[in-house]
């Protein structure tokens, strides 16, 4: 018997289905990719870096050019590792820490070559460090420790002198990679001093834990100490999340009629940091929210008011930078702070004024229960790292009534000016000249800001 045409057709369809399925399966089941070579070159001052690299590497008899270029090669290694973004990010991050070569804000990693062999499952990756400012000369020999800021002496009454300044000490690798110690000291005048010490310990990959202590004194009357722990999750350089838990102790050296000047409290704070691009515009968003339970440590007969309360605070900061427009770019910075409390404690008053917060006014001139600040500026980068900035700054706020009873409940302030900043061995120095606009406050102010 001969098979019918229907049976033959059915057999052909089955064979065709088996062949197609086998082909698709063969395409899908690829060998797992392995990263076999990784090269990272600091290409800030080099054009066509890999062309130069391989040309000089092959000329063994030419020593000087090859050695000069190889000083810019951060990584050149053969390995057999799983090809994944997570593994590559961790490997490069650790190598940059060991080489003491951190990336600045205007630098990024660029993939110049990606050679993938699908048969053997091998991948070769060639990366370069690029910069948006090619004229900027980078110093790859970053010290293990750094000190930024300035200290000085100013005269006070009775032929006495006082130390003032704004100082930060950083030790990015204390005993191992990502283990850090930071110390800050700030004293703007005789009425305000603050200092802090922070120790960072890596836990696992992007997870860190920080132990910190902060000490602060205001108006030669109020003292506060904070002791706490902070957990950090660094998803990547553009996304970071923190949670903090701390104990507060606040005291006053004068007799008061309210519990809020001397209390103990526990607070929890949530922080988020995000940086991304939208249509070539750079956006940075920083959000903090904290809740504090405060309980008075004064005797009940000494004050009238609450014995305990909850205090909630919000800090929202947004930075927007435009692409290059003309010879510079537009920089917008807005900050919104607010505190919710039945009685506002001095430790949570929103204090601002001066070089970093409101140019054209004295340091820490204003305090408020809520405040909105906006700075609009046109930034002109010059050759090297020098920068000119023309700015207009505004602030709208509700006064902290316990210290501002002679002023209106709400105020709006404006100032305008320009600044010039440049790099020094002590950090970045910024000189700003600003003057108040349309207000009862008169007189231009010259501000000096070093570091941070």
Looking at residues 84-107, what average pLDDT do you find?
75
Best-predicted range by mean pLDDT (56-60, 66-70, 422-426, 431-435): 431-435
Look at residue 390 in the predicted model and tell me its pLDDT: 93
Q: Is the predicted pLDDT of residue 183 greater than 50, yes or no?
A: yes
| Mean pLDDT computed over every residue of the chain | 77
In the numeric block, which tokens belong to residue 62?
A: 């030419």
Q: 198: number of CA atoms within 13 Å, CB side?
A: 20
Burial of 185 (0-12, 13-18, 19+ CB in 10 A): middle
pLDDT greater at residue 344 or residue 66: 344
Best-predicted range by mean pLDDT (96-100, 347-351, 399-403): 347-351
Q: Is the predicted pLDDT of residue 297 greater than 50, yes or no?
A: yes
Of the candidates 168, 137, 134, 136, which has an alpha carbon nearest to the alpha carbon of residue 151? 168
Q: Rounded distance, CA 45 to CA 124, Å?
A: 24
Q: Rounded distance, CA 296 to CA 251, Å?
A: 10
Contact 125, 142 (CB under 8 A): no
Residue whose pair of structure tokens reads 């032929």 in the numeric block: 159
Look at residue 55 in the predicted model and tell me its pLDDT: 53
Q: What percent of the chain has pLDDT over 70?
A: 74
Q: Is the predicted pLDDT of residue 321 greater than 80, yes or no?
A: yes
Q: Rounded distance, CA 250 to CA 294, Å?
A: 10
pLDDT greater at residue 312 or residue 85: 312
Q: Is the predicted pLDDT of residue 205 greater than 60, yes or no?
A: yes
Residue whose pair of structure tokens reads 């007189």 in the numeric block: 443
In the numeric block, which tokens belong to residue 428?
A: 């970045």
Best-predicted range by mean pLDDT (19-28, 215-224, 285-294, 420-429): 285-294
Looking at residues 136-156, what average pLDDT do you find?
59
User: Strand pairing partners for 381?
Assistant: 387
In the numeric block, which tokens belong to residue 111?
A: 């993939």
- HEC per residue, 104-163: CCCEEEEEEEEEEECCCCEEEEEEEEEECCCCCCCCCCCCCCEEEEEEEEEEECCCEEEE
Looking at residues 189-207, what average pLDDT do you find?
84
Q: Among 139-143, 212-216, 309-313, 347-351, where is mean pLDDT lowest?
A: 139-143
Of the candidates 450, 438, 320, 429, which has an alpha carbon nearest to the alpha carbon of residue 377? 320
At 21, is the pLDDT very low, low, confident or very high (cuts 50, 70, 90)? Answer: low
In the numeric block, which tokens belong to residue 280?
A: 């070539």
Contact 53, 66 (CB under 8 A): no
Look at residue 141 in the predicted model and tell me its pLDDT: 39
Q: Is the predicted pLDDT of residue 256 greater than 60, yes or no?
A: no
Looking at residues 307-332, what average pLDDT do you find?
90
Q: Among 38-42, 124-128, 424-428, where is mean pLDDT lowest?
A: 424-428
Q: What percent of the chain has pLDDT over 90?
A: 22
Write down the pTM of the prediction.
0.62
pLDDT greater at residue 2 or residue 184: 184
In the numeric block, which tokens belong to residue 407?
A: 């002023």
In angstroms, the Cα distances linking 241 to 269, 285, 367 are 11, 12, 28
Q: Rounded distance, CA 435 to CA 444, Å?
A: 4
Look at residue 339 in the predicted model and tell me its pLDDT: 92
Looking at residues 247-271, what average pLDDT do you find?
79
């Amino acid at each position: 018997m001969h098979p019918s045409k229907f049976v033959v057709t059915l057999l052909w369809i089955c064979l065709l289905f088996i062949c197609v399925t086998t082909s698709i399966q063969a395409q899908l089941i690829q060998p797992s990719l392995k990263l076999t070579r990784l090269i990272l070159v600091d290409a800030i001052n080099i054009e066509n870096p890999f062309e130069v690299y391989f040309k000089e590497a092959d000329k063994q008899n030419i020593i000087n050019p090859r050695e000069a270029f190889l000083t810019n090669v951060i990584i050149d290694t053969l390995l057999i590792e799983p090809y994944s973004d997570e593994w590559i990010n961790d490997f490069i991050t650790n190598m940059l820490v060991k080489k003491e070569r951190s990336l600045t804000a205007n630098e990024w990693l660029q993939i110049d070559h990606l050679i993938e062999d699908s048969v053997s499952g091998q991948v070769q990756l060639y990366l370069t460090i690029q910069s948006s400012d090619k004229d900027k000369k980078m110093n790859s020999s970053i010290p293990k420790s750094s000190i930024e800021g300035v200290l000085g002496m100013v005269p006070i009454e009775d032929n006495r002198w006082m130390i003032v300044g704004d100082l930060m000490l950083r030790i990015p690798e204390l005993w191992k990679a990502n283990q850090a110690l930071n110390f800050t000291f700030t004293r703007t005048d005789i009425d305000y001093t603050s200092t802090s010490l922070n120790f960072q310990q890596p836990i696992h990959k992007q997870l860190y834990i920080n132990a910190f202590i902060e000490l602060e004194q205001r108006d030669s009357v109020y003292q506060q100490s904070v002791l706490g722990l902070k957990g950090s999750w660094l998803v990547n350089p553009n996304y970071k999340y923190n949670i903090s838990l701390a104990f507060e102790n606040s005291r006053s050296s004068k007799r008061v009629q309210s519990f809020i000047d001397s209390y103990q409290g526990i607070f929890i704070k949530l922080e988020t940091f995000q940086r991304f691009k939208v249509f070539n515009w750079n956006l940075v968003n920083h959000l903090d929210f904290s809740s504090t339970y405060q309980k008075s440590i004064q005797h009940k007969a000494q004050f009238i008011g609450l014995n305990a309360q909850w205090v909630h605070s919000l800090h929202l900061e947004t930075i927007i930078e435009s692409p290059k427009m003309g010879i510079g770019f537009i920089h917008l910075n807005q900050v919104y702070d607010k505190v919710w409390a039945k009685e506002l404690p001095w430790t949570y008053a929103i204090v601002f004024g001066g070089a970093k917060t409101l140019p054209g006014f004295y340091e820490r001139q204003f305090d408020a229960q809520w405040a909105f600040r906006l700075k609009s500026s046109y930034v002109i980068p010059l050759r090297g790292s020098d920068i000119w900035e023309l700015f207009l700054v505004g602030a709208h706020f509700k006064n902290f009534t316990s210290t501002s009873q002679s002023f209106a409940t709400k105020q709006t302030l404006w100032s305008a000016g320009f600044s010039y900043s440049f790099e020094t061995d002590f950090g970045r120095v910024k000189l700003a000249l600003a003057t108040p606009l349309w207000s009862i406050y008169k007189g231009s102010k010259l501000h000096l800001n070093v570091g941070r």
